[in-house]
Every structure is written in structure tokens, then in C-alpha cells.
Amino acid sequence: LPSFGSTLFHLVLTHNLREAWTFYAPWWTLPIEWYFYLIFPLLLAALVRHTGGSLILFLVTAIAWRVGSFFWLEATTPEASVGTKVWLIHQLPGRIDQFFVGIVAALLTHRLRSTIRKDFLARLSNDLLLAGAALLILWLYVLAWFFEGYWQGEYALVFYWNSVAALLIGCFL
């Protein structure tokens, strides 16, 4: 059974702050999503004012967090498991680019719907869906090719695969 502390931290959606409590239940991503929704108004304001700059900032933040976390663990705890690396790398700063892709997709959809004819928008939507599906399948093949390297802690895949997958899935939106 989970400890009292683990249960308490799950109830207040902060169980991701301690690795030992993260994997007791399948809800380990919920706190990351919760934190995102708490800062969402700030991110949206930055995006509306400075779309291009925000994109660069969010991508740099995510990649810097992943790279910094990975190398910090390598320097301080070289025996850290891949699970520990994944736990630290995938905290909110390391996932902000994925949320950003969703925000951009929603904004573009909103803007396009008011300016483009419905028949063209439907065709464009279908084309993007097919392109996104094809690219996502291709990306899954790339990941399968490097599967062993990922689970052995291959740094490039740990850093970039989420960003690429988010961009490809953004095509579906």
C-alpha cells in the first residue's frame, strides 16, 4: 500500500515532486498538467503578444531543462537509472514545448476558421491529418530503431523525442 505521505501528495497533485511517489499510480502526469493549467494564463499572454519569441523561449526552456537535468544527474548521481532520468527530465519545464504546440494549434485553428472558406478548411484539415499520421508513423519507426538506446539513457532521444512527437501530433489538431 502507498504510504500516508504518498496518498496525501496524490490528493493535492504534488506527488511528482518525489520520485518514489510518482510511480505508485498511473496518474503521474496529472500534477504536470495541473501546474501547466495554473500557469496557462501567463503562457497565453506571452504567446498572443510574441508568438515567434514565445515559441523559441518555450523550446529553449524545454530543451535546456532536459539537457541540464540529464547532465546534472550524470555529474551528481552517475548510477541513476533511466527511470530517474525520465522522471526528472519530464517535469513541467521539460514538457512545456508539448503544451505550447497545443496552444499554437488551438490559436491557429481559431484564426483559420474565421478567415478561410469552410470547404477549403475541411480539405486542409484532412490533409494535415494524413500528413500528421504519416509523420507520426515514420517517427515511431525511428524510435523503434533506437529503442534500446532510449532505454539505456541515450541523451538525444531523451531530449528530443517528446518535442518531435508533439509537433507531429500538432498536425492532428
Lowest mean pLDDT among 17-31, 63-77, 95-109, 150-164: 150-164
The pTM (predicted TM-score) of the whole model is 0.68
What pLDDT score does 76 carry? Answer: 93
In this prediction, residue 169 carries a pLDDT of 66
Check residue 168 and give its pLDDT: 66
User: Which residues have C-beta within 8 Å of that of residue 147, sequence separation ≥ 6?
Assistant: none
Residue 40 pLDDT exceeds 90: no
Average pLDDT over residues 58-72: 86
